[in-house]
């Protein structure tokens, strides 16, 4: 995620705080509506970002929030772990199997900084746990037990509470903070698999009925659990095929042994918009709605595109799964903001991921043997994750075009040799924007040590350069006596700290083992300030010097000092937000005099990740990106 700059703040913060589409995959189908849309554009080609995970018999559904991905890796009827990876690097962060004796740890959702897993034993009285995504530790065990199959997942209320299929034929709401039951209501079901639900607004939809009674599509009030109304639809005695709700509130469902329906909720009841015959799909597909409103559903071994107003067929795909006895298509879909469909056929030996145009022509495909439940999930910055059997977990992301922003370091004098007691050297740093439009980015400087390690010497600083602009600063680096003798490399970069480097430049210097000179105590980089540094101008060059916000250290664990300079007295507000725009800390909310001030941000209770400190004084605002590494 790019750093938020002051010139972009009014727009960027509005996007964060007014419910713009999240780049997460919190549950099956991408949202509680399960229509496949998340508002992000996925990869345009199968460009692999990383691959590999714990070996498993078959794939499990991926759940994504911010920079973390969680899934089940099925290793048997007992001991099966939930596994968490860094979405951007693939690093395995933790596995959770401590409660998997005689059970499988089955993730069912990931939202608001909590991973939800079922201790899956198929007893119809299985326990639900909330885990900390930072380390996999247990936050709570739910008061209620659940009765669900392996393909079911959570529905979320607007505040993050869970709507689940409780045991003893109940529908329950679970408090996300405590795990306590908010409400419980009776809900008879004909079989395992019929528990799947979808939601729209303040209403949750699902099936209700015994094996020998009519199956009713039913609406419940999410606040109270009260049943609102229902509609009986003819079909078989059982019901396993799930349902989805479109962005306009239309409910799309298929009765086992019956028709495919488009149902409208008009506030006082449910009514039929249209119905049509389709060949039997599998038992756990999700339907998707394209960016133009088209409806995508499996029909036999193919996928069809339907007119949302009439149900008429618009397009039909090629066969997406090999034919065979009792073979059906369990397609699960994700929809990119550009209309691209990412389709997992959820097959075993012929498992495959397809990227399709809206008319269902294939753009590209990737074999994923043993996919089964490992359907595609869209995450941050357009990452597309899909899993399969063995060690198969693949994350694709199209590389973004890199702006023409460059950095150049030119040492003053040379060769640079630092005496044993420490010393200093100078260099000129030039940042240049080769684009005609303003570019926002970060810059930082590091020292590569003789031992192979490195340390951050400057930044990261968030800047915006106008089109075709450049700046040059004369800087001085002090090298301490404690630095070991040897050859060093000093370099600076521009891009998105720490992983996205658009350009870099550097030079070497030597720390001598013998010689004379004054004692120097610590590393430092000083001199003509860059925009955004304390004592320098704001991070946008055209902004007058009114506030300078800096964080040190940054990255940090678990505390960092936020320092800033005020040019005039006034009311100051300093808050910290996560990447979803949620407020996590209020550091200052009072009147302060002109001059230097400090505030400490303690993130010991927060997971690793990116945060934003937002400082406001009068009509002037600055945002500083913070990176918490635990």
Domain ranges in the chain with CATH number 2.130.10.10 = 48-396
Average pLDDT over residues 404-425: 91
Share of residues in the chain with pLDDT > 90 (%): 60
Global pTM? Answer: 0.65
CATH 2.60.40.3880 fits 405-527, yes or no: yes
Residue in the structure block whose two tokens are 């498993």:
56
Share of residues in the chain with pLDDT > 70 (%): 91
Summarised one tens digit per residue, pLDDT across range 458-496 is 888 888 888 888 899 999 999 988 888 998 889 999 988
Average pLDDT over residues 260-276: 97
State residue 597's pLDDT score.
Answer: 80
Summarised one tens digit per residue, pLDDT across range 150-169 is 999 999 999 999 999 999 99
* HSE-CB of 484 using CA atoms within 13 angstroms: 9
State residue 14's pLDDT score.
Answer: 29
State residue 401's pLDDT score.
Answer: 67
- Res. 543: pLDDT tops 60: no
Q: And the tokens for 209?
A: 């009925």
Fold of 549-628: Immunoglobulin-like (2.60.40)
589 or 138, which is more confident? 138
Average pLDDT over residues 229-242: 94
CATH 2.130.10.10 fits 48-396, yes or no: yes
Domain ranges in the chain with CATH number 2.60.40.3880 = 405-527
Given its phi and psi angles, is residue 337 left (phi above 0), alpha (psi -120 to 50 degrees) or beta?
Answer: alpha
State residue 12's pLDDT score.
Answer: 30
Confidence of residue 380 (pLDDT cuts 50, 70, 90): confident
State residue 622's pLDDT score.
Answer: 72
State residue 516's pLDDT score.
Answer: 63
Mapping DSSP to helix (H, G, I), strand (E, B) and coil, where does residue 237 land? coil
State residue 619's pLDDT score.
Answer: 64
**Among 17-31, 342-356, 430-444, whose mean pLDDT is lowest?**
17-31
**Strand duo 500-511 + 417-418: pairing:** parallel
- What are the phi and psi torsion angles at 618 (to 5°)? 65, -130
State residue 540's pLDDT score.
Answer: 41
Given its phi and psi angles, is residue 476 left (phi above 0), alpha (psi -120 to 50 degrees) or beta?
Answer: beta
Residue in the structure block whose two tokens are 């401590």:
98
Domain ranges in the chain with CATH number 2.60.40.1930 = 549-628
Average pLDDT over residues 312-338: 91
Longest CA–CA separation in the chain, Å? 94
Average of per-residue pLDDT values in the chain: 87
Confidence of residue 177 (pLDDT cuts 50, 70, 90): very high
The string of DSSP codes covering 83-135 is: EEEETTT--EEEEE-TT-TTSEEEEEEEETTEEEEEEE-SSS-BEEEEE-TTT
Cα torsion angle, 350, 316, 255, 339, sign: positive
Which residues are 441's β-sheet partners?
Answer: 463
State residue 17's pLDDT score.
Answer: 29
Summarised one tens digit per residue, pLDDT across range 566-606 is 777 788 889 998 766 678 999 998 888 777 788 899 999 98
Summarised one tens digit per residue, pLDDT across range 88-121 is 889 999 999 989 889 999 999 999 999 999 999 9
Summarised one tens digit per residue, pLDDT across range 34-66 is 999 988 889 988 989 899 999 999 999 999 999
**Among 141-150, 365-374, 398-407, whose mean pLDDT is lowest?**
398-407
Find all residues with CB under 8 Å of 38, minimum gap 6, and list them: 21, 22, 23, 24, 25, 30, 31, 334, 335, 337, 378
Best mean pLDDT range from 99-103, 511-515, 538-542: 99-103
Average pLDDT over residues 230-242: 94
Residue in the structure block whose two tokens are 């120097």:
520
- Res. 272: pLDDT tops 70: yes
């Amino acid at each position: 995620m790019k750093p938020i700059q002051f010139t972009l703040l009014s727009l960027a913060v509005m996007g964060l705080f007014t419910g713009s589409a999240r780049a997460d995959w919190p549950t099956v189908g991408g949202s509680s509506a399960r229509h496949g849309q998340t508002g992000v554009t996925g990869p345009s080609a199968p460009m692999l970002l990383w691959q590999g995970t714990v070996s498993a018999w078959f794939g499990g559904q991926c759940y994504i929030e911010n920079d973390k991905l969680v899934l089940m890796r099925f290793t048997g009827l007992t001991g099966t772990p939930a596994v968490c990876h860094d979405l951007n690097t693939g690093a395995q962060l933790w596995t959770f199997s401590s409660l998997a004796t005689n059970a499988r740890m089955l993730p069912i959702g990931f939202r608001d900084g909590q991973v939800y897993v079922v201790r899956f034993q198929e007893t119809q009285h299985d326990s639900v746990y909330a885990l900390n995504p930072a380390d996999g530790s247990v936050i709570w065990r739910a008061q209620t037990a659940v009765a669900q199959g392996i393909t079911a997942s959570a529905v979320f209320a607007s505040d993050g509470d869970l709507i689940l299929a409780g045991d003893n034929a109940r529908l329950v709401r679970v408090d996300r903070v405590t795990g306590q039951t908010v409400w419980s209501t009776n809900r008879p079901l004909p079989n395992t698999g019929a528990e799947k639900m979808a939601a729209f607004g303040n209403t949750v939809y699902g099936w209700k009925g015994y094996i020998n009674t009519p199956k009713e599509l039913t609406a419940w009030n999410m606040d109270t659990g009260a049943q609102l109304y229902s509609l009986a639809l003819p079909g078989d005695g059982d019901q396993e095929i799930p349902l989805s709700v479109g962005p306009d509130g239309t409910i799309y469902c298929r009765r086992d042994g019956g028709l495919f329906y488009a149902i409208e909720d008009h506030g006082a009841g449910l009514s039929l918009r249209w119905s049509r015959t389709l060949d039997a799909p599998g038992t756990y597909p999700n339907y998707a709605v394209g960016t133009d409103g088209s409806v995508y559903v499996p029909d036999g071994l193919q996928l069809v595109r339907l007119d949302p107003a009439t149900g008429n067929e618009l397009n039909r795909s090629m066969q997406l799964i090999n034919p065979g006895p009792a073979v059906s298509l369990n397609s699960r879909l994700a929809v990119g903001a550009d209309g691209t469909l990412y389709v997992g056929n959820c097959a075993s030996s012929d498992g495959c991921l397809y990227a399709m145009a809206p008319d269902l022509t294939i753009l590209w495909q990737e074999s994923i043997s043993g996919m089964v439940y490992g359907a595609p999930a869209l995450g941050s910055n357009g990452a597309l994750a899909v899993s399969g059997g063995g060690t198969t977990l693949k994350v694709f992301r199209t590389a973004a075009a890199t702006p023409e922003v460059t950095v150049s370091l030119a040492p003053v004098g040379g060769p640079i040799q630092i005496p044993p007691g420490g010393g200093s050297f100078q260099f000129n740093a030039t940042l240049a924007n080769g684009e005609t439009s303003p570019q926002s980015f970060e810059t930082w400087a590091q020292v590569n040590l003789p031992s192979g390690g490195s340390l951050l010497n400057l930044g990261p600083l968030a800047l915006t350069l106008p089109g075709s602009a450049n700046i040059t600063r004369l800087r001085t680096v002090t090298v301490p006596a404690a630095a070991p003798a040897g050859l060093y490399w000093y370099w600076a970069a521009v891009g998105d700290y720490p992983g996205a480097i658009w350009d870099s430049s550097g030079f070497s210097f030597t720390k001598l083992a013998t010689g004379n000179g004054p004692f120097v105590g610590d590393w430092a980089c000083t001199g003509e300030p860059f925009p955004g540094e304390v004592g320098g101008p704001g991070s946008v060059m055209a902004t007058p010097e009114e506030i300078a916000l800096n964080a040190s250290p940054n990255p940090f664990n678990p505390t960092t000092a936020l320092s800033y300079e005020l040019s005039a007295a006034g009311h100051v507000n300093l808050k910290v937000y996560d990447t979803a725009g949620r407020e996590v800390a209020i550091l200052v909310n009072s009147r302060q005099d002109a001059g230097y001030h400090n505030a400490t941000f303690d993130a010991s209770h927060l997971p690793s990740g990116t945060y934003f400190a937002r400082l406001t004084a009068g009509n002037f605002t600055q945002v500083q990106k913070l990176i918490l590494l635990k």
